Amino acid sequence: MKKSIMLVVLAAMVEFVLVGVSSAEEPKHPRFDPNTFVGKVIVTKDANGVITAVQLESRKRGTYNIVLDAKGKELAEKMADKFVAVTGTVATKGNANWLTVEKYNEFQRPRGPGDPNRPHDPNRPHGHHPGSPPSGEGGGEGK
């Protein structure tokens, strides 16, 4: 009799846990938007400090020139040298892509030593990975 009661209680607990897990919300990931571009904002100024050109350098999609309307100038002033997600429309003129900014926000990336998306450190030798000895040490040559 005790075994039967224990089995019923155990089955009820398992069902409770499974129902709780299945009803949990899925993590909210941003949906893919083909009109959103992620990259670094590069601003060019003349000798007087006036913005003359703005570009968005994306590792995946290439470089886009930013149209210098009010929103484009705002992007340049607030987000120079930062990684951003820019939503807008693209027009191709000649061999250049021009992006008209509709909205933007700073793109926050994880910044841990194991982050594969972290930019390459030019001071770290090629092929050196965190946690491994620097090149030329540790007997790693000749393998």
64: three-class secondary structure by DSSP = strand
Q: Which of 104, 98, 101, 66 is nearest to 83 (CA)?
A: 104
List CB contacts of 88: < 8 A, sequence separation 6 or more: 35, 37, 99, 100, 101, 102, 103
Rounded mean pLDDT, 80-100: 95
Tell whether the model's pLDDT for residue 131 goes beyond 70: no
SS3 call for 15? helix
Closest CA to 75 of 98, 101, 49, 45: 101
For residue 123, pLDDT over 80 is answered with no
Return the C-alpha torsion angle 113, 118, 123, 128, nearest 10.
60
Confidence of residue 105 (pLDDT cuts 50, 70, 90): very high
**Mean per-residue pLDDT, 76-98:** 95
Structure confidence at residue 81 (pLDDT): 94
pLDDT digits (tens, 9 = 90+) for 39-76: 999 999 999 999 999 999 998 889 999 999 999 999 99
Domains of the chain by start residue, with CATH? 36-106 (2.40.50)
Element (H, E) at 79: helix 70-79
> Residue 105: CB partners within 8 Å, gap ≥ 6?
84, 85
Mean pLDDT of the chain: 78
> CA-CA distance, 10 to 135, in Å (whole number)?
56
Task: Look at residue 38 and give its three-state secondary structure.
Answer: strand
